């Protein structure tokens, strides 16, 4: 029979020394420690390492001092609050400028009729009807293009001019 600790027992021991072992597993650990020299050695070594770490690092040479606190406060107040305020204003200004530019851009390019004299706008708007004028005159009634005939009448002069 080997005294080596298997993987499951190892996990058990690790939880035990790290203080995370579930209470109902304490009996298992107790049994393991009772029968296994390796397990006892593991726990003993852990304790020595933990104590040695405490001796070597437990009390770093650090002290509280007012200068540190004043500097920390000054640093936060200087770099956090004012900067936030400045960035907020800059962000709002940039957003407003962007909105104005975007509005101007879309307004300029949004309507293709905006550059045409008012009198010609309807001609362009209903150009597709005029292009199919012959078809509309022949089959308009059948195709229920009554609305478009109203338009033809409105463009009576234009049609004559074209001819």
Partner 1 sequence: MTDAPDGRDLMLAVSADVPGSFQTLVEVYETRVKAAVARSIRDSSSVDDLAQEVFLRLYKARARYQPTARFETFLYRIIFNLCVNHTQHSNRRRTWSLDAPLGGDDEDGSSFEPIDGRTSRPLEALEESERAKLVRKCVEALPDSQRQAIMLSRFEGLGYQEIANVMALSLPAVKSLLWRARENMRQRLQPILGDLGTGEGGGSGAEGAAG
Asked if residue 32 binds partner 1 (CB under 8 A), the reply is no
Indicate if the alpha-carbon torsion angle 119, 122, 127, 132 is positive or negative: negative
Binding residue for partner 1, selected from 26, 30, 35, 50, defined by CB under 8 A: 50
Please, which of residues 67-106 interact with partner 1 by CB under 8 A? 68-69, 71-73, 75-76, 79-80
> Is 7 among the residues that bind partner 1 (CB under 8 A)?
yes
Give whichever of 60 and 117 is closer to partner 1, judged by the CB atom.
Answer: 60
101-160 binders of partner 1 (CB under 8 A): none
Question: Cβ 91 to partner 1, closest distance in Å?
Answer: 16
| Contact by Cβ (8 Å): 134, 143 | no
Among residues 106, 163, 112, the alpha carbon closest in space to that of 134 is found at 163
Query: Which alpha helices (H) appear in the chain, and where do they start and end?
Result: 7-17, 26-35, 37-57, 66-79, 81-110, 118-125, 127-131, 133-139, 146-154, 156-162
Q: Tell me how far apart the alpha carbons of residues 120 and 127 are, in angstroms, rounded to a whole number.
A: 11
Smallest distance, partner 1 to C-beta of residue 95, A: 20
Considering only CA atoms, which of 3, 72, 62 is closest in space to residue 35?
A: 3
Binding residues for partner 1, how many (CB under 8 A)? Answer: 47
**Shortest approach of partner 1 to residue 35 CB, angstroms?**
13
Give the footprint of partner 1 on this chain (CB under 8 A). 3-7, 9-11, 13-14, 18-20, 36-42, 44-46, 48-50, 52-58, 60-64, 68-69, 71-73, 75-76, 79-80
């Amino acid at each position: 029979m080997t005294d080596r600790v298997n993987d499951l027992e190892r996990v058990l021991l690790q939880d035990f020394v790290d203080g995370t072992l579930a209470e109902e597993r304490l009996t298992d650990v107790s049994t393991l420690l009772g029968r296994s020299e390796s397990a006892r050695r593991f726990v003993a070594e852990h304790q020595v390492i933990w104590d040695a770490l405490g001796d070597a690092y437990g009390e770093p040479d650090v002290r509280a001092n007012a200068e540190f606190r004043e500097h920390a406060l000054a640093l936060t107040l200087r770099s956090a609050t004012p900067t936030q305020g400045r960035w907020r204003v800059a962000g709002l200004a940039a957003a407003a400028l962007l909105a104005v530019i975007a509005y101007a851009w879309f307004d300029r390019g949004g309507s293709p009729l905006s550059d045409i004299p008012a009198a010609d706008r309807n001609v362009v708007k209903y150009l597709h009807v005029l292009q199919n004028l012959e078809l509309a005159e022949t089959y308009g009634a059948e195709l229920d293009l009554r609305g478009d005939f109203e338009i033809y009448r409105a463009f009576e002069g234009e049609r004559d001019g074209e001819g």
